[in-house]
Structure 1
Amino acid sequence: MSLWKLYYHFVWATHQRLPLIKSSREAPLYQFIQHKTNDLGGYLRAIGGIDDHVHLIVSIPPSLALAQYVHLVKGSSSRYMNRYYADPDALFKWQQEYSVFSISEKNLTIALHYVNHQKRHHAKSKLLLHLEPDALFSRLIPP
């Protein structure tokens, strides 16, 4: 059995930053992402977000490419949400873009706290801007 300690902080947003993650849909979405991560051989250490984006702290094996993980989780979670938690007003869809950061074991506790308390951080505007999608994606798109 191989030993690996790889920690990643993923962030991705809903299509056009629409508020698609309503409170009634949040728990099923998060549970699905956890199950999918487990199915892929990974471990979801934390998940949190608000109505238009999610943050995940994930350990995934080195045999699974990061882009592959994101593709599989985003695609299957969109299909799941549209099949079982359909909203007649809006198709559940993720933006194509995402961000990922590696996390050292030393900084894991800080990252876990940040992700687990996303709603509080957003409510109090106490965000780590380098880890939020608005700040991240605005750097990718020229003015």
Structure 2
Amino acid sequence: MPYWKLYYHFIWGTRNRLPLIDSVIEAEVYRAIAAKATDMGGFVHAIGRVEDHVHLVASIPPKIAPAKFIGDVKGNSSHFINHVIKPDFEFYWQDEYGVLSFGEKNLSSVVRYVQNQKQHHADGALIPAMEQMDEI
């Protein structure tokens, strides 16, 4: 097994940025995201959300491209929401996503930012680069 330390901050939203992720389904959505990430050999450092988007801080093995990783995580979690959490619900993620890589020395601050998403949005204390999901 190769040695690796790779850190990514993924951001993606609901289709049309609809406010679909509420406190009722939050824990289940987090579990679905974390389960797929772990199944792919990744390690989840933090998950955070507001009603229309999710942040994921994860380490993924170098054999998996970030695009493949996030595509599988998004696909698995939307399938889980539509078939297990809310059967017959039409829940979709947007096609786009944002991803930032960062070093280990920034891990704790990125994790804190993601874990405090609701407060950052309520206070308007956002870091624009850490909220970017598609081209400007």
What does residue 120 of structure 2 align with?
Answer: 121
Could you tell me which runs of 5 or more consecutive residues in structure 2 were left unpaired when the two chains were aligned: none
Residue 24 in 1 paired to residue 53 in 2? no
Could you tell me which runs of 5 or more consecutive residues in structure 1 were left unpaired when the two chains were aligned: none
Say what the alpha-carbon RMSD is for the aligned residues.
Answer: 1.4
Please give the TM-score of this superposition, normalised by the length of structure 2: 0.95
Looking at structure 1, the residues matched to 45 and 106 of structure 2 have their Cα atoms a distance apart, in angstroms, of 14
Aligned length: 136
Looking at structure 2, the residues matched to 87 and 122 of structure 1 have their Cα atoms a distance apart, in angstroms, of 30
Equivalences for residues 1-143 of structure 1 within 5 A? 1-86=1-86, 91-133=90-132, 136-137=133-134, 139=136
Looking at structure 1, the residues matched to 71 and 135 of structure 2 have their Cα atoms a distance apart, in angstroms, of 22
- 1:16-37 per-position Cα deviation (integer Å, ceiling 9, x unaligned): 0001111101100001111111
1:85 partner amino acid: I
Percent pairwise identity: 47
Q: Tell me the CA shift for residue 105 of structure 1.
A: 0.9
Q: Tell me the CA shift for residue 87 of structure 1.
A: 6.9
**Alpha carbons of 1:116 and 1:84: their partners in 2 closer, same or farther (altered >3 Å)?**
same
Q: Tell me the CA shift for residue 138 of structure 1.
A: 5.9
Q: Tell me the CA shift for residue 137 of structure 1.
A: 3.1
